[in-house]
Amino acid sequence: MIARLLAHRANALWLAALVHRLSGLALAIFLPLHFYTLGLAIEGEASLEGFLRWSDRPLVKVSEALLVFVLAVHLLGGVRLLVLENFSWLDGQKRLAVLAAAAAAIVAFAFLARVF
Amino acid sequence: MTQTLQVSLWRGGAEGRYQVYEVPLRENQTVLDVVTWVQRNADATLSYRFACRVGMCGSCAMTVNGRPRWTCRTHVSKVAKGGRLAIGPLENLPVIKDLATDMAPFFEKWQQANGAFAPSKSRAEPIERISPDSDDRRAVNAAIECINCGVCYAACDTVRWDPDYLGPAALNRAWTLVNDERDAGNTARLAAVAADGGCHACHSHQSCQEHCPLALNPTASIAGLKRRTTAAYLRGEIKL
Amino acid sequence: MNVRLYIWQRTSAAIMAPLVVVHLLVIFYAMRKGFSAAEILSRTRGSVAWALFYGLFIAAASVHAPIGLRTILAEWTPLPARMRDVAVIAFGVALAVLGFRAIAAVVLS
């Protein structure tokens, strides 16, 4: 049943669109928290410093790497769409979508490598 | 002992169930052959639609193992995994009965997208010369072969999720008219496809292009419409 | 989604694309240097450049995110149109308020 539901969606570009949508949603949820944290600096650097120390934990750093991936994949997927919509048609959209995801993963790994 | 195929067919309307039939497996067999065999030999109450049976009319489009396809051009050997087939009516359209859907919403959206030619000259004037090499005509030719089979509409998840969305076929046809030098209705047409549910609702999944039996690319046509409507809106030629 | 929302959505996206790249580079730089809060703030305090950079970023994000959320709510939830539009506008306003407050926090303190 599930296989039948997914059959016509077994398409890299459908997956790319899903990743784009979910990454956007994740960013929309993350941003208010991010802004709130930075706003801690209003109380003076001690509050912000406290948060930065807390975020030094490995689990938080891994989450941050995931956030970097989410941001990068949403950016690169979005750029692919902007090009698709504003310039002459390029065949090979599937390949471009996979490239975008791979590049985002590389950026996230680079972040993780720096941090550990 | 002839080999057989286990075929489950949708029986009913919006409510219903899949019923399994045992169909003789032949060496050269299309999915349409299978459906026809069931109706003629197993269950005369089965309703389905076809016409040319040679891949020209698009009437036989159904959902085969989850994918919308022309059943007359789908060989059983290519899709029947382990001797099983699941056949249902096209998605995203109301079901009349069994494998036949109501295509009215599909064609209504065609009209809503202004998918009809608006003449600019009368028979008293000389015939317009259109060069087949012009960029506009190339754009039209790339998209003109659509026979309104509904496969792209059935494959499109944006159609599934957004009841207002005009859909790939209607927008693809609008694109061919936008590029037709003879057409006089482009202001109204661009306004029609710039509204809610128009070309901007497309998320470029490209399921339409993936499934189109004629390898058309509505995603590209829709991208073109996005460019045209944006320019027209910014120039004040169309209003929302 | 219509042509007007589309233009706002894509324009804000195009504006943010280079800003995101710079932001990622800034993050990488700060991580490599292992900056403390004091070191970060000493660079942002009184900086017109950072204020303008992140001000533009917040403004664009406050337009872009609500329009994206609107589509998700329209396609994946049964929320009525009116409620959906009110919800995403409220979200956009909240994002802008929190965002500009954060900029004030790191530039003005």
Between the two ends of chain C, the Cα-to-Cα distance in Å is 41
Structural domain of residue C56, as residue ranges? 3-107
How far is residue C58's CA from residue C103's CA, in Å, rounded to a whole number? 9
Q: What is the tally of structural domains in chain C?
A: 1
Average pLDDT over every residue of A36-56 = 82
Contact between A3 and B205 using a beta-carbon 8 Å cutoff: no
Contact between A68 and C72 using a beta-carbon 8 Å cutoff: no
Q: How confident is the model at residue B232 (pLDDT cuts 50, 70, 90)?
A: very high
ipTM > 0.90 (yes/no) = yes
How far is residue C96's CA from residue C88's CA, in Å, rounded to a whole number? 12
Would an 8 Å CB–CB cutoff place B85 in contact with chain C? no
Output the 3-class SS for chain A: CHHHHHHCCCCHHHHHHHHHHHHHHHHHHHHHHHHHHHHHHHHCHHHHHHHHHHCCCHHHHHHHHHHHHHHHHHHHHHHHHHHHHHCCCCCCHHHHHHHHHHHHHHHHHHHHHHHC
How far is C-alpha C39 from the geometric centre of its chain's CA atoms?
A: 23
The domains of chain B are located at 4-101, 104-234
CB B204 within 8 Å of CB B219: yes
Residues of A within 8 A of B203 (CB-CB) are: 17
Topology (CATH level 3) of domain A11-115: 3 helical TM bundles of succinate and fumarate reductases (1.20.1300)
Residues facing residue A52 across a β-bridge: none
How far is residue B211's CA from residue A87's CA, in Å, rounded to a whole number? 24
Q: How close, in Å, is residue C78 to chain A by CA atoms?
A: 17
Q: For domain B104-234, which CATH number applies: 3.40.50.300, 1.10.3720.10, 3.40.640.10, 1.10.1060.10?
A: 1.10.1060.10
- For residue B201, CA distances in Å to A94, B144, C68, C78 come to 20, 22, 11, 17
Average pLDDT over every residue of B96-111 = 97
Contact between A78 and C17 using a beta-carbon 8 Å cutoff: yes
The confidence score (pLDDT) of residue A48 equals 82
The confidence score (pLDDT) of residue A37 equals 87
**Which tens digit of pLDDT belongs to each residue from B107-145?**
999 999 999 999 999 999 998 899 999 999 999 999 999
Assess whether pLDDT exceeds 80 at residue C29: yes
A20-24, B58-62, B78-82, B90-94: the lowest-pLDDT one:
B78-82
**Least CB–CB distance from C2: residue in B158, B161, B196:** B196
**Which DSSP symbol is given to B199?**
G
**Which tens digit of pLDDT belongs to each residue from B168-195?**
999 999 999 999 999 999 999 999 999 9
The pTM for the full model equals 0.94
Element (H, E) at B238: none
Which residue of B lies nearest to A90 if distances are taken between CA atoms?
B220
Check whether domain B4-101 has CATH 1.20.140.10, yes or no: no
**Which tens digit of pLDDT belongs to each residue from A54-76?**
888 888 889 999 999 999 999 99
The domains of chain A are located at 11-115
Contact between A31 and C21 using a beta-carbon 8 Å cutoff: no
Whose CA is closest to C56, among C17, C6, C4?
A: C17
Residues 6 or more apart from B86 whose CB is under 8 A from it? A4, B7, B8, B18, B64, B65, B66
Region of B144 please: left (phi>0), alpha (psi -120 to 50) or beta. Answer: alpha
**Least CB–CB distance from A35: residue in C14, C91, C98:** C98
B4-101 and B104-234: same fold? no
Residues 6 or more apart from A77 whose CB is under 8 A from it? A16, A19, A20, A23, A97, A100, A101
User: Rg of the Cα trace of chain C?
Assistant: 17
**Least CB–CB distance from B229: residue in C3, C5, C76:** C3
Average pLDDT over every residue of A23-41 = 92
